[in-house]
């Protein structure tokens, strides 16, 4: 683990491999260990940089820090990512790989720093803002977590995060995800939920995305529906879409080999284009 001191907190991150920089941004309520199977297996084709977003994993927030009224906005997370790249002196545009909430951060990042984006890998994410029903569910989740702690989130989310196949056949993956969720502090969960609730609709941005884009979805994702997936596929010019069978919301953990193969082939093509 490496660390970078930022004004509000110390950001923990992993940085592995050489070449094309790929910034891997985790979802809610997870942390950078989500990307371990990619860091271990794709570092021969790229330089993988995986931060813990503020408040997650080892990017602890001091008890003196006051959560912004709008929660952890996707813009705030995007600015933290940009600060990391600047500190690492990475001046070339990067591949931004975001899963779910990490994808919401990718849209923010693209909006704020288009010159820093070489390509996008959007995993199990959506462009639309929260519907009223989702906002209501988030308010309930905030009340639950404030009332009974993180355990409430683990119990309610876990069945939606992983496919039935994963839950029946990969107990270590189930444990790993439950562990990540359980270790996320209550304030971080509130910060994420509030920030996601307030995020803008990124649909109008989609047809302005002018970089190579790979979309990856789990075939059994219960959180991102087909409408969300089609919206991204149809509106991002030239986007390549891949569905992974037997995977739910976390295809990079649930079907590591297939996921890595798809990302490897996308990165290899980018590398070839850079050499041509």
- Give the residue with the Cβ less far from ligand MLT, 101 or 270: 101
- Check binding of 35 to ligand MLT (CB under 6 A): no
Q: Which is nearer to ligand MLT, 27 or 212 (CB)?
A: 27
Confirm or reject binding of residue 252 to ligand MLT (CB under 6 A): no
Contact flag: residue 27 with ligand MLT (CB under 6 A): yes
135 contacts: CB under 8 Å, gap ≥ 6: 197
From candidates 25, 74, 81, 101, binder to ligand MLT by CB under 6 A:
101
Distance CA 126, CA 232 (A): 7
Residue 184 Cα distances to 29, 61, 84, angstroms: 6, 11, 21
SS3 180: helix
Task: Please say whether the dihedral angle defined by the alpha carbons of residues 77, 82, 88 and 92, taken in this order, is positive or negative.
Answer: positive
- 127 to 156, contacts with ligand MLT by CB under 6 A? none
- Cβ-based nearer residue to ligand MLT, 152 or 196: 196
Taking the complex as a whole, the smallest distance from the CB of residue 91 to ligand MLT amounts, in Å, to: 29
Residue from 45, 36, 44, 43 nearest 1 by CA: 36
Alpha carbon distance 254, 237 (integer Å): 28
Whole-angstrom distance, CA of residue 25 vs CA of residue 23 = 6
User: Per-residue string for binding with ligand MLT, 204-223, x by CB under 6 A?
Assistant: -------------------x
Using CB under 6 A as the binding rule, whether residue 28 contacts ligand MLT is answered as yes
Residue nearest to ligand MLT (CB): 27
By CB under 6 A, name the one of 12, 85, 97, 196 that touches ligand MLT: 196
Q: Which of 63, 181, 190, 205 is nearest to 127 (CA)?
A: 205
Is the backbone peptide bond immediately before 203 cis, with ω within 30 degrees of 0? no
CB of 259 to ligand MLT, least distance (A): 15
Q: Which of 38, 73, 100, 184 is close enough to bind ligand MLT by CB under 6 A?
A: 100
Closest distance to ligand MLT from the beta carbon of 205 (Å): 17
Q: Is residue 162 within the footprint of ligand MLT (CB under 6 A)?
A: no
Residues within the interface to ligand MLT (CB under 6 A): 27-28, 100-101, 196, 223, 249
């Amino acid at each position: 683990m490496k660390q970078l001191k930022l004004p509000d907190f110390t950001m923990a991150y992993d940085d592995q491999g050489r070449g094309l920089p790929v910034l891997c941004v985790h979802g809610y309520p997870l942390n950078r260990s989500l990307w371990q199977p990619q860091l271990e297996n794709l570092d021969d084709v790229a330089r993988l940089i995986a931060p813990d977003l503020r408040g997650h994993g080892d990017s602890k927030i001091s008890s003196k820090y006051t959560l912004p009224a709008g929660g952890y906005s996707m813009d705030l997370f995007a600015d933290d990512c940009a600060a990391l790249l600047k500190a690492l002196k990475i001046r070339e545009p990067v591949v931004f790989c975001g899963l779910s909430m990490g994808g919401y951060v990718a849209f923010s990042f693209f909006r704020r720093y288009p010159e820093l984006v070489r390509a996008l890998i959007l995993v199990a994410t959506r462009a639309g803002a929260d519907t009223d029903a989702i906002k209501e569910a988030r308010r309930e989740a905030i009340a639950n977590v404030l009332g009974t702690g993180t355990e409430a989130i683990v119990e309610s989310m876990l069945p939606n995060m992983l496919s039935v196949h994963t839950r029946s056949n990969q107990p270590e993956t189930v444990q790993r995800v439950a562990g990540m969720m359980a270790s996320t502090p209550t304030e971080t969960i509130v910060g994420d939920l509030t920030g996601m609730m307030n995020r803008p609709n990124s649909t109008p941005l989609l047809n302005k995305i002018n970089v190579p884009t790979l979309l990856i979805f789990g075939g059994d994702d219960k959180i991102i529906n087909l409408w969300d997936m089609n919206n991204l596929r149809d509106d991002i010019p030239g986007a390549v879409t891949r569905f992974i069978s037997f995977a739910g919301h976390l295809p990079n953990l649930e079907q590591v080999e297939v996921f890595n193969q798809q990302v490897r082939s996308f990165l290899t093509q980018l590398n070839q284009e850079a050499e041509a």
